[in-house]
């Protein structure tokens, strides 16, 4: 699938040339996948030298599936489609190098398919090509650690959206993030990779905080079973003292500061197994956490965000219709959309963007009383509209 995607779009005019930016001049996303490529190549070679072909193949396929297909290609799609973008050539050059190296690493394990693909990519047989690259892109552990963090925050962000019942196509205003423990270099890379997180979660803004103190409040839940062993008949009073602990005291307790509870005028140190600390999101934020990592999503949807969300729904439906009618990826279309005022306003507000995304040379909006005979009824996030699509001659 990755090769098919590359071949379809590269046929529109890209071929390797000296105009392609050097790897170190490319976007951080390109540098990351090239770093992962080098690391994967080295690990696969190590396993092959140990005669562990099964593990070597698994390492390569995990790279192709998890890193190349599900992350790099998905986040780079707009760069491939937009031939006028400054990093369009960088994206093609990066993806081609990844595919070529994967073919060469897999050639000893599966000699036929990698050979066919290598011939399509380079014009030569993989079995006549050098197995190892002379100057592979250097592995960048700090950049890779930063991308692990970004992907983990993306997982938390998607969970927060699901908790708030807001689909990913609906843009949201902001998310506040607290990262795990990272080096200074990795932290700097995280900031540079933040636009990818915005793209993945469809957000207008990402903010980073040094702690989650302002995002969540802490509440103490007494562990009656453990308290009972120590307090006996006084357990209810001890539990009440535990439940009365405030958020700041509990934060200090989590960081190792002793906490004293008073029962019948006698002070006792609180034990860690006597309390369960629970977190509550502050205000309207929807918070997800994973250890020291937090993602706090603002679920508020302004009228502007709502219109953009509907515009994205329109694009999604039209792209599906293009595929169902068998249109080629480069075919231009004429589009007519009939719907209530909310839909028409959304289309009018994002007309140029919608037309560019679906390759529409003509985009007309009409009210619900004017529906084209060929129009198809669609659901746009709970609103019924009709879309008529014809190939532009």
Asked whether residue 246 carries a pLDDT value surpassing 80, the answer given is yes
pLDDT of residue 174: 95
SS3 content of the chain, % helix, strand, coil (to 5): 55, 20, 30
pLDDT tens per residue, range 284-328 = 899 998 888 999 999 999 999 999 999 999 999 999 999 999 998
Is 127 or 15 the better-scoring residue by pLDDT? Answer: 127
Structure confidence at residue 85 as a pLDDT band (50, 70, 90): confident
Residue range 304-391 in CATH 3.30.2320: yes
Asked whether residue 82 carries a pLDDT value surpassing 90, the answer given is no
Asked whether residue 101 carries a pLDDT value surpassing 90, the answer given is yes
Q: Which of 240-249, 316-325, 337-346 has the lowest mean pLDDT?
A: 240-249
**For the residues 360-385, what does the mean pLDDT come to?**
92
pLDDT of residue 393: 74
Query: What length is written for the chain?
Result: 393
Structure confidence at residue 136 as a pLDDT band (50, 70, 90): confident
**For the residues 254-262, what does the mean pLDDT come to?**
86
Asked whether residue 338 carries a pLDDT value surpassing 80, the answer given is yes
- In percent, how much of the chain has pLDDT > 90? 67
User: For the CA atoms of 250, 255, 256, 262, what is the dihedral angle to 10 degrees?
Assistant: -10
User: Beta strand 266-269 with 286-290: parallel, antiparallel or unpaired?
Assistant: unpaired
DSSP lists the bridge partners of residue 338 as 366, 386
pLDDT of residue 84: 67
pLDDT of residue 13: 72
Direct distance between the N- and C-terminal alpha carbons of the chain, in angstroms, rounded to an integer: 30
Q: Which of 168-172, 196-200, 282-286 has the lowest mean pLDDT?
A: 282-286
Asked whether residue 354 carries a pLDDT value surpassing 70, the answer given is yes
- Does residue 181 contact residue 135 with C-beta atoms inside 8 Å? no
Mean pLDDT of the chain: 91
Asked whether residue 153 carries a pLDDT value surpassing 80, the answer given is yes
Asked whether residue 252 carries a pLDDT value surpassing 70, the answer given is yes
Strand residues in the chain grouped as ranges (E): 172-178, 203-208, 216-222, 260-263, 266-269, 275-281, 286-290, 293-297, 333-338, 360-366, 376-380, 383-391
Is 132 or 193 the better-scoring residue by pLDDT? Answer: 193
- The pTM assigned to this predicted structure is 0.84
What are the residue boundaries of the structural domains of the chain, listed by start? Answer: 2-128, 141-213+283-301, 216-277, 304-391
Class of residue 35 by CB neighbours under 10 A (exposed 0-12, middle 13-18, buried 19+): buried
C-alpha 224: how far from its chain's center?
41
CATH, domain 2-128, list 1.10.10.60, 3.40.50.150, 1.10.730.10, 1.10.357.10: 1.10.730.10
Residues 216-277, CATH architecture = 2-Layer Sandwich (3.30)
Q: Which residue, 133, 117, 145, is CA-closest to 42?
A: 133
**For the residues 138-144, what does the mean pLDDT come to?**
96
Q: State whether residue 280 is helix, strand or coil.
A: strand
Distance CA 86, CA 228 (A): 67
């Amino acid at each position: 699938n990755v090769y098919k995607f590359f071949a379809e779009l590269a046929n529109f005019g890209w071929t390797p040339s000296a105009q392609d930016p050097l790897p170190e001049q490319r976007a951080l996303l390109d540098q990351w996948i090239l770093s992962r490529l080098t690391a994967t190549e080295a690990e696969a070679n190590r396993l092959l030298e140990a005669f562990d072909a099964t593990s070597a193949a698994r390492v390569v396929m995990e790279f192709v599936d998890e890193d190349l297909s599900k992350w790099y290609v998905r986040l780079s799609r707009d760069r491939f489609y937009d031939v006028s973008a400054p990093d369009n050539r960088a994206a093609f050059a990066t993806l081609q190098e990844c595919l070529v190296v994967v073919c060469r690493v897999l050639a000893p394990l599966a000699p036929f398919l990698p050979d066919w693909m290598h011939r399509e990519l380079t014009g030569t047989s993989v079995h006549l090509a050098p197995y190892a690259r002379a100057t592979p892109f250097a592995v960048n552990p700090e950049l890779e650690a930063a991308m692990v963090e970004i992907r983990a925050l993306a997982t938390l962000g998607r969970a927060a959206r699901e908790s708030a019942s807001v689909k990913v196509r609906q843009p949201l205003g902001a998310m506040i993030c607290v990262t795990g423990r990272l080096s200074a270099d990795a932290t700097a890379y995280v900031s540079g990779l933040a636009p990818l997180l915005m793209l993945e979660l469809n957000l207008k803004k990402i903010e980073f905080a040094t702690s989650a103190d302002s995002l969540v409040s802490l509440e103490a839940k007494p562990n009656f079973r453990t308290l009972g062993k120590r307090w006996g008949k006084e357990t209810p009073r001890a539990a009440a003292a535990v439940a009365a602990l405030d958020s700041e005291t509990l934060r200090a307790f989590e960081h190792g500061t002793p906490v004293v509870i008073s029962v019948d005028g006698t002070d006792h140190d609180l034990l860690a197994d006597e309390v369960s600390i629970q977190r509550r999101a502050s205000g309207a934020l929807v918070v997800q956490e994973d250890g020291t990592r937090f993602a706090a999503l603002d679920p508020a949807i302004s009228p502007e965000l709502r219109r953009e969300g509907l515009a994205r729904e329109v694009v999604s439906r039209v792209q599906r219709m293009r595929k169902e009618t068998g249109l080629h990826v480069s075919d231009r279309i004429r589009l007519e959309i009939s719907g209530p005022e909310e839909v028409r306003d959304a289309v009018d507000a994002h007309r140029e963007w919608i037309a560019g995304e679906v390759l529409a040379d003509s985009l007309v909006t009409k009210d619900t009383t004017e529906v084209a005979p060929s129009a198809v009824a669609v659901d746009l996030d709970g609103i019924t509209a009709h879309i008529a699509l014809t190939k532009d001659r």
